[in-house]
A and B are shown apart, each in its own frame.
Chain A
Amino acid sequence: MTRTIHLSLDINGRRHELDVEPRVTLLDALREHLALTGTKKGCDQGQCGACTCHVDGSRVLSCLTLAAQVEGRQITTIEGIAAENGELHPVQAAFVEHDAFQCGYCTPGQIMSAVACIREGHAGSDEEIREYMSGNLCRCGAYNNIVAAVREAAEMA
């Protein structure tokens, strides 16, 4: 018999109630149970960064986080960073401006990681951006434009 547990998750400022198996990750809870599919599943093993979300303001990998673990924490996904009037977050706008993607699959994770990277104060130079963004892989190899976008967004912040 499948065991389920009831969870109450605070995502992008809204309370969501759901019943899931204990093994369900935050990533699968978002995508499969709450229709928040902006967060992407790449490797599902903590190696690519496509699933990056914020928990209490820190960037983490939702594929290696159990949904049950983050009850009571504030979760932010890519759907939650634009302004309420639809205006893009400055990092989103910089990615568009600098064409910082090709296929776009890694982009939500890149942007969530970049928002945190800038907030942490780790976007002071191209070298530092490359080091602190190294947990987000881009198979299309759009790295130069990603670095340019992060640098510009950091300079405006």
Chain B
Amino acid sequence: MRDFSYYRASSADEARHAALQSGAMLLAGGTTLLDLAKCGVMEPETVVDITHLPGLGRITVDAGGATIGALAKMGEVADHAGIRAAFPAVSESLSLAASAQLRNMATIGGNLLQRTRCSYFREPDVFPACHKRNPGSGCSALGGVTRNHAVLGTSDTCIASYPGDLAVALVAFDAVVELGGRTISVDDFFLTPGNTPERETVLERGEMITAITVPASAAAKNSTYLKVRDRQSYEFAAASAAVGLEFEADGRTVRDIRVALGGVATKPWRARNVEQALTGKVLSPETVEVASRLAMEGAVSHGANHYKIELAPRVVARAILKVGGLV
């Protein structure tokens, strides 16, 4: 890890100002920045420690929804009684992520901004070509081992998958990122790679996530996060789904359904086509199975990741059946 200078910010304005300097990077839980600094992927000249900022770790839940301060830890949010009651998918997405130690360190703001686990991105010494790390240098993943790479939202320059779980649940329930001066939906916060894979979010230099807000809804209250992995715990998703469901008064017809996917796309992936196909329909294993296949509309396989195109719709279907009380 290259040496850097360390600066402890004492206010949010001070942190934003410090982050404007070239080579400056914000440090919260450190689980991404220090990891990638050791890999030689990130080379900060100045690390701006924001973990001592007061007031940015609050979690409040009321009838309108939840506000989660950017510095709240993953574990705190996962275990928060109000979050568990009103947003079970959000709580589950966090408790099924990482390890207990990492959940005690990593913050909610930093969790959104975690970087891809693409092994070519993470090893610059072995794989110099990576458009995300070094625009114009090529892509080592294309033609490489792609088992963990995305099948949705990819481009000719990058097929790296977004690794997080929380953002998948957030995008399903129309959560909003607070950036101090402006707000933006989680869906619009993340970018697909296109021709600029180095740009993963709309965050500008000097901006900082201050909070995430999630509006309350009946679908969010009746929700789940289903995560399928190569090992049972402490692993990134091979495919995952955040699903929420509200029935009409008859208890069978879908009034509101939310579906988002993780582990298969270049950003947290809202599957609106699945939602549209089921809204107003009577929920049954057959309707769910047919609709869930729509989640893979436009999916592109790169060889070893082809299994995700089979797996993801089954994960979506199982999650819908679960919140629908059909399994």
Contacts and interface: CB of A to CB of B under 8 A. Distances in A.
A5 interface: yes
Given A3-B3, A21-B3, A135 B234 contact: yes
Interface in B67-102: 75, 98-102
B100 to A, nearest CB: 5
Contacts of A52: 101
A2 B100 contact: no
Task: Report whether over half of chain A's contact residues are helix, strand or loop; otherwise say mixed.
Answer: mixed
Contact of A69 (B5, B35, B51, B233): B51
A54 to B, nearest CB: 9
B3 A113 contact: no
B6 interface: yes
A149 to B, nearest CB: 17
A72 to B, nearest CB: 8
B4 A22 contact: yes
Given A46-B31, A134-B234, A69 B104 contact: no
Contacts of B30: 64-66, 69
A117 to B, nearest CB: 7
A16 interface: no
B27 interface: yes
- Interface extent on B, as a size class? 20 to 34
A64 B5 contact: no
A136 B234 CA distance: 10
B5 A59 contact: no
Interface string A99-133: 00000000000000100110010100000001111
A58 B98 CA distance: 15
A22 B3 contact: yes
B102 A46 contact: yes
Contacts of A49: 99, 101
A60 B99 CA distance: 10
B6 A135 contact: no
A131 B227 CA distance: 14
B3 A61 contact: no
A44 interface: yes
B104 A58 contact: yes
B182 interface: no
Contacts of B37: 23
A25 interface: yes
A44 B179 CA distance: 32
Interface in B213-240: 232-234
B111 to A, nearest CB: 14
B101 A113 contact: yes
Interface of B: 1-6, 8, 27, 29-31, 34-35, 37-39, 47, 49, 51, 75, 98-102, 104-105, 232-234
Interface of A: 2-3, 5, 21-23, 25, 44-46, 49, 52, 58-61, 63-66, 68-69, 113, 116-117, 120, 122, 130-136
14 contacts: A2-B3, A25-B34, A45-B38, A59-B104, A60-B101, A64-B31, A66-B6, A66-B30, A69-B51, A113-B100, A130-B233, A133-B100, A135-B99, A135-B101
Given A60-B105, A61-B105, A68-B8, 12 more contacts: A22-B5, A23-B2, A45-B35, A45-B38, A46-B34, A64-B29, A65-B30, A65-B105, A66-B6, A69-B49, A122-B100, A135-B100
